[in-house]
Amino acid sequence: MLQTITSIEDIKQRIKTFKENQFSIGFVPTMGALHEGHLSLVRQARKENDKVVVSIFVNPLQFGINEDFTQYPSTFDNDCELLSKEDVDIVFNPKAPEIYPDGFCTSVVLEHLEDKLCGKSRPGHFRGVAAVVLKLFNLVKPDVAYFGQKDFQQTIVIKRMVADLNLDVNIKVLPTIRGKEGLALSSRNAYLSETEKKDALCLYKSLIKAQTMVNAGVKNAEEIKGEMGKIINNCKSAKIDYISIVNPKTLEAVSEVRSGNVAALAVRIGKTRLIDNIILMVLIVLFVYST
């Protein structure tokens, strides 16, 4: 039966009981407004662990000035109904003062990772992400934590933090879940009008164009990004924040595409900022000669 916990002391006590009984814990951190992308993570956690904890916490530290913190979608009752159907054990739903009491002044800085891609236009964002995820890991003590590939830079930041700080948690990244026409599922899709949802397909189309060009033997990153940009700029409601092709570990931009490089982009559709990415694969053709 789903249990909702709002206080740090209560979650500590419940997790202590789990650990005393040697239960494995799968953890899915979210900001709520759950969709099929979140639920795919929950289902994987359910398959692989004795207990499943989902956090719902809209983290103020990862929102900048004039961002959508106060307007971020909130569907808590519906979220709990969905999680109950997935046999989740605990929803941890603290208020901001519980997580960040008066005097809180600690940040987690990941140099060389937080200032690239989304970090350029959202300064301080990944410090906020790292701080809250570290706190949640310390409270929930998961054996495995689950994240989606759509938030690619976030997954790299968290993996690096876990490695650098020797945290005893395994990070699993699962594929992006998309709608029928390719739009990556996101809580922020709720902001889009029906027309804007159609316009937003330009993100996925541009990523597919990138892979198609790589399949055709094009390796010049600037050429590929140029063609991606043309697709997006053909959509009147779209405004590019960035298009980049990067090394998947360092997030450094590459000039020549290799297998495993990631094409990532952020685009505003109307007032809504959307992100997406794809792992590019370079085809290797083997020639077999017979005699």
Record the tokens describing residue 68, joined without a space: 């959508």
Beta bridge partners of 268: 239, 273
Q: Which amino acid is at 27?
A: F
Distance CA 276, CA 246 (A): 13
Distance CA 127, CA 203 (A): 26
Q: Which amino acid is at 34?
A: L
CA geometry: angle at 131 spanning 128 and 135, to 5°? 140
Radius of gyration, alpha carbons of the chain: 20
Catalytic residue IDs:
38
Whether the CA torsion 174, 78, 100, 116 is positive or negative: it is: positive
